[in-house]
Amino acid sequence: MYKQVNSLPEQIEEALNAVLPALHPSNNVCIFGMGASALAGEVVSDYADGSDQNPIGVVRGIELPGWVDRETTVIFVSYSGNTKEVLIAYDEANYRGCRIICITTGGELMQKCISNKNILVRLPRGLQSRSAFGYLLGYLSSVLEKMEVCDAATALRDVLPTLKKHRDSLLSGKNTLVDDIAKMLMHKIPVIYSLANMRSSAIRWKTQINENSKFISFCGSLPEFNHNEIVGWTDDAKNKMFMPVILYDDNASNIIKCMTDTSIGILEDKKLDIVSYHVSGASNLEKNLKCIILGDFVSIRLAHLRETDPVADIPVKEVNELVVVDESEL
C-alpha cells in the first residue's frame, strides 16, 4: 500500500500519456462511481467549480438525476467493474438512451459496455481501487478534456512537478509531519474539515483512515461548521474523544480565513487539541492533491502505529451483504 500511495504522481503521469478512443464534445456530463472512483470525479468537479469550466455532476448512488437524458454523457467509473451501484445506474442510463463511457479494468461493467457498443477506457489492473486513485483521476481528466468539458488533464500536467516535490518533501528524513499527525490521531476519532472548494480532500482523508487505518473517521466542511457542529464541539462532554483536523486553505479570501480562524480559536478556548494543515497552490486541484498525498501517508503511518494491515480490505462476506439487491424491486 505504501508503494502504491507513493506512486500517485507517476500513476497520474502514466494515465495522462495513455491513448484514448475517439470522443465527442459534450456540455452535459454526469459521473457515477463509489469510493475512490467517485472521488476522482469530485476532485475534477472541485477544479471545475474553481474555474470557468463546465459544471460536472458526480453521483454516489444508483439513481440518475432527472436532468440526465439522451443528450447527457454519463461516465461510469469503477475500478473493479463490479460495483453494484454503478451497474444498476448503468442499466438505467442505457434504458434512457444516454451517451455512455465506461472507465474500468473489466468485470461486468466492461461486459455491458462492450455488449452495448459504448466507449470503453481500460485501466491498469492489479491494484485495490483506493491505491489506484492516480490512474482513476488521470484517465478521467483526460477523457473530460478530450470531450472539451474542462482542461483538467492540462492542469494535472502542470502540477505534476509540484506534487512530486511535495511527496518527496514529506518522505525526507527531516520531515516529521506525517508521523506527528498520526501520533496525534492515534487515540482519537478524527473529524476532517476543509473549505467547500476542497471537499474532496477531506473525503479522501476520512475514507483512507477508514480503510487503511481501520477505524472510524468523519468529515465536514467550513464555514457550514459554524452553523451547527460548533455547538456539539463546545457543549458535548464527549468532545475530547474526537480530534478536528483542519485542511486550511492559505489562498482563501480574507473573510473565509477570518471565519476559519475564529472557529479554530473557539475550539482552542475549549482546550481541544487540533491538527491544522496549511496548504497553498495555484488551483483547487493542486491544493486538493497536496492534501490527499499527505492524508494517504498519514493513514498508512496510523495503520502501522495501530499494528493493522493497510492492505487488508473489508471481508468479502460483509461487502456482499451490503450490496445484495432484490432486482424485482428496481
pTM here is 0.92
- Show the domain range for 44: 2-158
The DSSP secondary-structure symbol of 69 reads -
- Across the range 279-287, mean pLDDT stands at 93
pLDDT band at residue 314, thresholds of 50, 70 and 90? low
Residue 282 lies in a domain: yes
Q: Do 98 and 183 reside in the same domain of the chain?
A: no
Residue 263 lies in a domain: yes
Residue 326 lies in a domain: no
pLDDT in tens, 126-184: 888 899 999 999 999 999 999 999 999 999 999 999 999 999 999 988 899 999 999 99
Q: Do 15 and 146 reside in the same domain of the chain?
A: yes
Q: Long-range contacts: 89-95, Cβ < 8 Å, 24+?
A: 89/32, 89/59, 89/61, 89/62, 89/63, 89/64, 90/32, 92/62, 92/63, 92/64, 93/32, 93/64, 93/68
Q: Do 154 and 204 reside in the same domain of the chain?
A: no
Q: Do 113 and 259 reside in the same domain of the chain?
A: no
Helix (H) or strand (E) holding 302: helix 284-305
Residue 290 lies in a domain: yes
Q: Do 230 and 196 reside in the same domain of the chain?
A: yes
Q: Do 127 and 218 reside in the same domain of the chain?
A: no
Sheet of 242-249: strand order equals 218-222, 189-195, 242-249, 275-279
Q: Do 63 and 127 reside in the same domain of the chain?
A: yes
Q: How far is CA 234 from CA 226, 230, 264, 272, 319, in A?
A: 11, 6, 11, 9, 37
pLDDT in tens, 199-235: 999 999 999 999 999 999 999 999 898 889 999 999 9
pLDDT in tens, 248-280: 999 999 999 999 999 999 999 989 999 999 999
Residue 197 lies in a domain: yes
Instruction: Report the CATH number at residue 244.
Output: 3.40.50.10490
Q: Do 187 and 139 reside in the same domain of the chain?
A: no
Residue 186 lies in a domain: yes
Cell of residue 236, nine digits:
458535548
SS3 144: helix
Q: How far is CA 81 from CA 23, 74, 105, 120, in A?
A: 21, 15, 6, 11
Q: What is the mean pLDDT of the chain?
A: 91
Q: Do 146 and 188 reside in the same domain of the chain?
A: no
Q: Do 183 and 42 reside in the same domain of the chain?
A: no
Provide the domain count of the chain.
2
Q: Do 57 and 148 reside in the same domain of the chain?
A: yes
Q: Do 153 and 7 reside in the same domain of the chain?
A: yes
